[in-house]
C-alpha cells in the first residue's frame, strides 16, 4: 500500500471561513473523498483534531496498523490533519487513530464526516460517495407550493425500524420501504413524512436520538443511495420529507465525537454546560466557531444531498436553558444573570438564517416545550427564526381532557379553550408524537375512556378536533389506525388490527380528515393567524359543546365546526350565525362508515333570522354523540 501523499482540498478562504465558524459546506472538505491526484485514484482524508500530536488513518487496507498512514497537520493553526492515500477504493473501512498532546492519550475514532458507517454494533467508517441520479425535479421545483405556511401540512411520524418488519422480525430495507411506506402514506393522505433520526446511531433503544454518524444514513436499512431512493419516491408521490435532527446532545461512545482528540473538542468543557443529566450524554459547545460550522454544515448537507424538505430540531428547550434539568448549584447564569444559553440562541438564529437563505420551500420545526418567546418568528424581529413550533401545551391539555370520563368534562372545558388564548403567538404544529405512546403513557386509543364504542368514538372526536383546530398536524405511526398497545421499537406495528371494523374505521377517518384538510382552504390558509378563527360559543360547558368558525381568504369558503364532547345526542341544538343562507354538513366523525352511530344532519340546513350567541341569525343542528361535525355555507 502506498504512503500518504501531501494533498489538500482546502483553500486559504476555506480555512478562514472554518475558523470564523462560517463554512457551511465542510462536508466538501473534511472527511474521506474519492479523488484522483496526478492520475492516481485514491482517497483524500481530512479531520479536525487541533490537540493531536499525530493522526493516522487505520483500516482494512493496512490491517488497522497505526503508523502506516500518518496524516500531516496544516501549517495554518486550523488543527486540520490531511493527506491523500492512493489505491484505496469505495467500500474501504477506516478510522482515525489520534494521539493527543495531552498526556499522550490515544483515541480511535470514526470519521465525524463519514458518508456511510458499518452496520452496528460495528463502528468503522466506510469510504463512500453520494452519486445518485434524482428523479424528483418536479417536486423540487414546486415544493414551495406544498411546504408553505399557508398550505395543508399533515405529518406522519415514522420510526423506520418498527413501522413494519419482515419475516423473522427483520428490518425492512430502505428499498422495501420505498414501495410499502410510500404507497401507504399516499393512500392515507398525509402531506409529509417525518423520519425519527436516520443518521447513524449505535444503540437501538435510543430510537436514533444518540448520534455517532451525523452525515451517514444508518446502515441498518441499506446504503446511502438506498435512502435516496426512498426520499425520491416519496417526492415523486407528492409527499414531503422531514428529518429529525439532533444538535442538542450526542453519546460518549468511544468511537464517537466525545473527547475526540483527547480534549473536549465538540462538547463544552464545562460539565455544567457540556453534559446532559437526563440522557447521560454530551452537549455541543455552541460558542465554538468550528462546532457551529460542523452543525450548520450538517443541516445543509441533508437538505442539499438528500433533498430533505425540512428539519425538525429535537430538544430545543434543553438547549435554550442553562438550568434545564439541573438543580441549584449545577448551573451558572449567563453574563446578564439569566438562565438563557446565549450561545445556543445565537447558534439557532444563525442556523435558521442559513437554511432559509439557501433553500427555497423548506421548513425548520422546533420541538420546544416552554414559553420561550418568538421561537417561530423571523430573526430580524428578534425571533429564533424557526418556521414552526410544536404546540406542546395544546397536546398536554387536550389529552388530559380526553382522558376524563365524559360526565366530568363540563368542569374542564377550559382545558380545550385555553389553547386559543395563545394559539397565534407562534406558528404551531399540533403533535401527537411517539413521546405520548411510550413509558406507560398508553397508546392514544387506550387513553380514551369508556367502553369499546366510546373509546373509538372519543378517538375519532379527538382527531376531528385536531384537524379543525388551527395549526399544522403531526401523528405518530400506528395512531392512525388506533394501535392498542404502546409503541415498541423492537417490533412491527400491529397491522393485524385493521381486520377489525373499529380500527379500519379510524384509518378511514384519518384518510378522510387529511382529504378534508387539503380540500378546504379555510383549514389552512390562515392557520397561523387569528383572522382564521372565530369562536361561536366556547362557554357551553354544561353540555360540553364547542362551536367555532374556520376562515380562509374567501369568506364563502368558511367552515362552521361543532364539537359534542359527551355521548349525549343533542337535538335541536342552536348556534349563532352571522349571515343568511344555508349550511350543509360536509363531515361527521360519527358516520357509520367510521364505526359511529350514523346520526347527523342531511340536506340543507336553513339559517333562520333568529338572534343567538350574539349574532343576528342562527341554525338548529343535531349533534351526534362524541363527535365533530363540519358545515359549509350553501
Is the pLDDT assigned to residue 520 strictly greater than 70? yes
Q: Which residue has the cell 347527523?
A: 600
Burial of 503 (0-12, 13-18, 19+ CB in 10 A): buried
Number of CB atoms found within 10 A of residue 531's CB: 12
Is the pLDDT assigned to residue 348 strictly greater than 90? yes
Q: What is the pLDDT of residues 89-117, one digit of tens each?
A: 999 999 999 999 988 899 999 999 999 99
Residues of the chain with CATH 2.60.40.10: 12-126
Burial of 335 (0-12, 13-18, 19+ CB in 10 A): exposed
Cell of 307: 433533498
Burial of 342 (0-12, 13-18, 19+ CB in 10 A): middle
C-alpha to C-alpha distances, 445 to 215, 403, 413, 437, nearest whole angstrom: 37, 10, 21, 10
Residues of the chain with CATH 3.20.20.80: 154-209+235-523
Q: What is the pLDDT of residues 561-602, one digit of tens each?
A: 999 999 999 999 999 999 999 999 999 999 999 999 999 999
Burial of 622 (0-12, 13-18, 19+ CB in 10 A): middle
At 67 the pLDDT is 86
Instruction: Report the DSSP pairing between strands 582-588 and 604-606.
Output: antiparallel
Rg, C-alpha atoms of the chain:
27
Query: Which residues does residue 430 pair with via DSSP β-bridges, in sequence order?
Result: 473
Query: Do 265 and 256 touch, CB atoms closer than 8 A?
Result: no
CA trace torsion 28, 310, 428, 366 (10° rounding):
-30
Q: Which residue has the cell 466557531?
A: 289
Q: Which among 82, 232, 261, 314 is annotated as catalytic?
A: 314
Q: What is the CATH topology of the domain spanning 154-209+235-523? A: TIM Barrel (3.20.20)
Residues constituting the chain: 634
At 1 the pLDDT is 57
Burial 452-463 (b: 16+ CB within 10 A, else e): eebbbbbbbbbb
Instruction: Report the DSSP pairing between strands 240-245 and 310-313.
Output: parallel
Query: Do 386 and 376 touch, CB atoms closer than 8 A?
Result: yes
Residue 367 annotated among the catalytic residues of the structure: yes
Helix (H) or strand (E) holding 77, with range, is none
Full DSSP string of 365-428: EE---S--TTTTS-GGGTS---SEEE-HHHHHHHHHHHTS-GGGGGG-THHHHGGGGTTTSS-E
Question: What average pLDDT does this structure show over 297-318?
Answer: 97
Q: CA 177 to CA 172: how far, in whole Å?
A: 6
Q: CA 594 to CA 501: how far, in whole Å?
A: 8
Sheet holding 545-550, edge to edge: 533-537, 545-550, 559-564, 627-633, 582-588, 604-606
Question: What average pLDDT does this structure show over 394-423?
Answer: 96
Residue 314 annotated among the catalytic residues of the structure: yes
Distance from CA of residue 200 to its chain's centroid?
Answer: 16
Query: Do 213 and 161 touch, CB atoms closer than 8 A?
Result: no
Cis peptide before 121 (omega within 30 of 0): yes
Q: In the CATH hierarchy, which top-level class contains the domain 12-126?
A: mainly beta
Q: What is the pLDDT of residues 213-262, one digit of tens each?
A: 999 999 999 999 999 999 999 999 999 999 999 999 999 999 999 999 99
Question: What average pLDDT does this structure show over 343-366?
Answer: 97
The maximal CA–CA distance of the chain, rounded, in angstroms, is 92
Number of CB atoms found within 10 A of residue 563's CB: 22
End-to-end CA distance of the chain: 79
User: 530-633: which CATH number, 2.70.70.10, 2.60.40.1180, 3.40.309.10, 3.40.50.12780?
Assistant: 2.60.40.1180
State phi, psi for 55 to the nearest 5 degrees. Answer: -135, 125
Q: CA 383 to CA 394: how far, in whole Å?
A: 21
Is the pLDDT assigned to residue 483 strictly greater than 70? yes
Number of CB atoms found within 10 A of residue 484's CB: 15
pTM: 0.96
Residues of the chain with CATH 2.60.40.1180: 530-633
Q: CA 132 to CA 174: how far, in whole Å?
A: 15
Cell of 43: 482517497
Average pLDDT in the chain: 96
Q: Which among 82, 232, 367, 512 is annotated as catalytic?
A: 367
Question: What average pLDDT does this structure show over 283-295?
Answer: 97
Query: Which residues does residue 573 pair with via DSSP β-bridges, in sequence order?
Result: 621
Q: What is the pLDDT of residues 49-71, one digit of tens each?
A: 999 999 999 999 999 998 899 99
Q: CA 389 to CA 367: how far, in whole Å?
A: 6
Instruction: Report the DSSP pairing between strands 154-158 and 192-195.
Output: parallel
At 162 the pLDDT is 97
Q: CA 222 to CA 111: how far, in whole Å?
A: 19
At 367 the pLDDT is 96
Is the pLDDT assigned to residue 2 strictly greater than 90? no
Question: What average pLDDT does this structure show over 489-494?
Answer: 97
Amino acid at each position: 500500500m502506498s504512503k500518504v501523499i501531501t494533498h489538500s482540498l482546502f483553500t486559504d478562504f476555506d480555512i478562514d471561513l472554518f475558523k470564523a465558524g462560517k463554512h457551511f459546506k465542510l462536508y466538501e472538505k473534511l472527511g474521506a473523498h474519492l479523488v484522483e491526484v496526478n492520475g492516481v485514484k485514491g482517497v483524500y482524508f481530512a479531520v479536525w483534531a487541533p490537540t493531536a500530536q499525530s493522526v493516522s488513518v487505520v483500516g482494512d487496507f493496512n490491517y488497522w496498523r497505526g503508523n502506516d498512514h500518518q496524516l500531516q497537520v496544516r501549517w495554518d493553526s486550523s488543527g486540520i490533519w490531511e493527506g491523500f492515500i492512493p489505491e484505496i477504493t469505495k467500500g474501504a473501512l477506516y478510522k482515525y487513530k489520534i494521539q493527543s498532546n495531552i498526556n499522550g492519550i490515544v483515541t480511535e475514532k470514526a470519521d465525524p464526516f463519514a458518508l456511510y458507517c458499518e452496520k452496528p454494533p460495528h463502528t468503522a467508517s466506510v469510504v463512500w460517495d453520494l452519486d445518485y441520479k434524482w428523479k424528483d425535479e418536479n417536486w423540487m421545483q414546486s415544493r414551495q407550493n406544498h411546504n408553505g405556511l399557508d398550505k395543508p401540512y399533515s405529518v406522519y411520524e415514522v420510526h423506520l425500524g418498527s413501522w413494519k418488519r419482515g419475516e423473522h422480525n427483520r428490518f425492512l430495507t430502505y428499498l422495501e420501504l420505498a414501495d410499502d411506506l410510500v404507497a401507504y402514506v399516499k393512500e392515507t393522505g398525509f402531506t409529509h413524512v417525518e423520519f425519527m433520526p436516520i443518521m447513524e446511531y449505535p444503540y437501538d433503544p435510543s430510537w436514533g436520538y444518540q448520534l455517532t454518524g451525523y452525515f451517514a444514513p444508518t446502515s441498518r436499512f441499506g446504503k446511502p443511495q438506498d435512502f435516496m431512493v426512498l426520499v425520491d419516491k416519496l417526492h415523486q408521490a407528492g409527499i414531503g420529507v422531514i428529518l429529525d435532527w439532533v444538535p442538542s446532545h450526542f453519546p460518549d461512545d468511544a468511537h464517537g465525537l466525545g473527547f475526540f482528540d483527547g480534549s473536549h473538542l465538540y462538547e463544552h468543557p464545562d460539565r455544567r454546560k457540556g453534559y446532559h443529566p437526563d440522557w447521560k450524554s454530551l452537549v455541543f459547545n455552541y460558542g465554538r466557531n468550528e462546532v457551529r460550522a460542523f452543525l450548520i454544515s450538517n443541516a445543509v448537507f441533508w437538505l442539499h444531498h438528500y433533498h430533505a424538505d425540512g428539519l425538525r430540531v429535537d430538544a430545543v428547550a434543553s438547549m435554550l436553558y442553562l438550568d434545564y434539568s439541573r438543580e441549584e448549584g449545577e448551573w451558572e447564569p449567563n453574563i446578564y444573570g439569566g438562565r438563557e444559553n446565549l450561545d445556543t440562541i445565537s447558534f439557532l438564529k444563525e442556523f435558521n438564517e442559513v437554511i432559509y437563505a439557501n433553500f427555497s420551500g423548506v421548513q425548520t420545526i422546533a420541538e420546544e416545550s416552554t414559553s420561550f418567546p418568538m421561537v417561530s418568528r423571523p430573526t430580524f424581529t428578534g425571533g429564533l427564526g424557526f418556521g414552526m413550533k410544536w404546540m406542546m401545551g395544546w397536546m398536554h391539555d387536550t389529552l388530559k381532557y380526553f382522558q376524563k370520563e365524559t360526565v366530568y368534562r363540563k368542569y374542564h372545558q377550559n382545558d380545550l379553550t385555553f389553547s386559543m388564548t395563545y394559539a397565534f403567538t407562534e406558528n404551531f404544529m399540533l403533535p401527537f408524537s411517539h413521546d405520548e405512546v411510550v413509558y406507560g403513557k398508553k397508546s392514544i386509543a387506550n387513553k380514551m375512556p369508556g367502553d369499546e364504542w366510546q373509546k373509538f368514538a372519543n378517538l375519532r372526536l379527538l382527531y376531528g378536533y385536531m384537524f379543525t383546530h388551527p395549526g399544522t398536524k403531526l401523528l405518530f405511526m400506528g395512531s392512525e389506525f388506533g394501535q392498542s398497545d404502546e409503541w415498541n421499537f423492537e417490533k412491527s406495528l400491529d397491522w393485524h388490527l385493521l381486520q377489525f371494523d373499529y380500527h379500519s374505521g379510524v384509518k378511514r377517518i384519518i384518510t378522510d380528515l387529511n382529504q378534508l384538510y387539503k380540500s378546504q382552504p379555510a383549514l389552512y390558509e390562515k392557520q397561523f393567524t387569528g383572522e382564521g378563527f372565530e369562536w361561536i360559543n366556547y362557554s357551553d360547558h354544561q353540555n360540553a359543546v364547542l362551536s367555532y368558525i374556520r376562515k380562509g381568504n374567501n369568506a364563502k369558503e368558511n367552515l362552521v365546526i361543532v364539537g359534542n364532547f359527551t355521548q349525549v345526542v343533542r337535538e335541536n341544538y342552536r348556534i349563532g350565525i352571522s349571515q343568511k343562507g344555508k349550511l350543509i354538513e360536509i363531515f361527521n366523525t360519527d358516520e357509520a362508515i367510521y364505526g359511529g352511530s350514523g346520526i347527523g344532519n342531511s340536506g340543507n340546513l336553513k339559517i333562520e333570522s333568529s338572534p343567538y350567541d350574539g349574532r343576528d341569525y342562527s341554525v338548529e343542528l343535531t349533534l351526534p354523540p362524541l363527535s365533530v361535525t363540519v358545515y359549509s355555507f350553501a
